Chains A and B, each alone.
Chain A
Amino acid sequence: MTDRRSRFESGSIAWFLQRVTAVVLLFTLGFHFLWLHFVNHAAEVTLWGSALRMDRFVYFIMIVVFLVTAAYHGLNGIYNALLNHGLSGRRRTVVFWLLTIAGTVLVIQGIRIAVAMAGVIS
């Protein structure tokens, strides 16, 4: 086995961003789980309650940062894993664009949700 575990070139921008987003996610994902499962219970979520949270600017920004970093980290992680499995050439280009489009749709839809929630108040 001459294979390295990862072809995710250490030192590349994608490699670096995967780690930077991982550190950001430690805080945002940790906060999210604590806040919506242990402090507020998921089963008691109402649109009014979500709107009250989203109406606060700091919360809104945090949730958008969480969304963008999770989308990037997750999809970049999959892309790099596929490269490790030997994805190349035209299929690599197709997969790259599919993941990019999926991520863009995810982020736009997530922001639309956050805006709609914040708009409930007032």
Chain B
Amino acid sequence: MGAPYDRGLIEDFGRFRYFSAGMWAWVLHKVTGWVLIGYLFAHIAVLSTAIPAASDPEAIAAGTDLYTRTIQGLEGIFLVRVLEVGLLAAAVFHMTNGIRLLLVDLGIGLEREAEGFYVSVAVTAVITVLSIPVFLPPEVVPW
């Protein structure tokens, strides 16, 4: 557990070329974890519009309250829809790779790390592709 040896920034970034499947899994698990917690803070901030909006029953009935307008406004932006697909992909990878990590902790699959990682990537790819029609229906695509 010695202090990490400082290889310098450029060399550090260059090391990805030598990554094994297990190292990719480790890096992607980190990146997706940070994306998810970052999203959670943004998500709660957006949903906070419900607090002032809740005291205006007429606007709620008409669907013109601050919360409804904010969410529908965001959902109307094409980039937001694309980012949602990315969020789903990050979540699915973190979940499937997370299941793999939990199994490894139970002593299952330690020697088949690479296969487990490929399965996580494949499941993520399939679910992400299947979700595209849901997140990006033809009417929101600008072309």
Contacts and interface: CB of A to CB of B under 8 A. Distances in A.
A98 interface: no
B67 A37 contact: no
Contacts of B119: none
B86 interface: no
Interface residues of B, number: 42
Interface centre among A38, A46, A78, A119 (most CB of B within 10 A): A46
Interface in B52-79: 53-54, 57, 60-61, 63, 65, 67-68, 71-72, 75-76
B37 A74 contact: yes
Contacts of A112: 48, 51
A106 B98 contact: no
A5 B51 contact: no
A109 interface: yes
Q: DSSP majority for the B interface?
A: helix
Which of the four size classes fits the interface of chain A?
A: 35 or more
Contacts of B88: 33, 37
Contacts of A51: 54, 60
Interface of A: 2-5, 7, 10, 19, 22-23, 25-26, 29-30, 33, 37-38, 41-43, 45-48, 50-51, 70-71, 74-75, 77-78, 81, 85-86, 102, 106, 109-110, 112-113, 116-117, 119-120
21 contacts: A2-B1, A19-B102, A22-B102, A26-B95, A26-B98, A30-B95, A37-B84, A37-B88, A37-B131, A37-B134, A38-B131, A47-B65, A47-B67, A48-B61, A70-B40, A74-B37, A78-B34, A109-B48, A113-B50, A113-B51, A117-B54
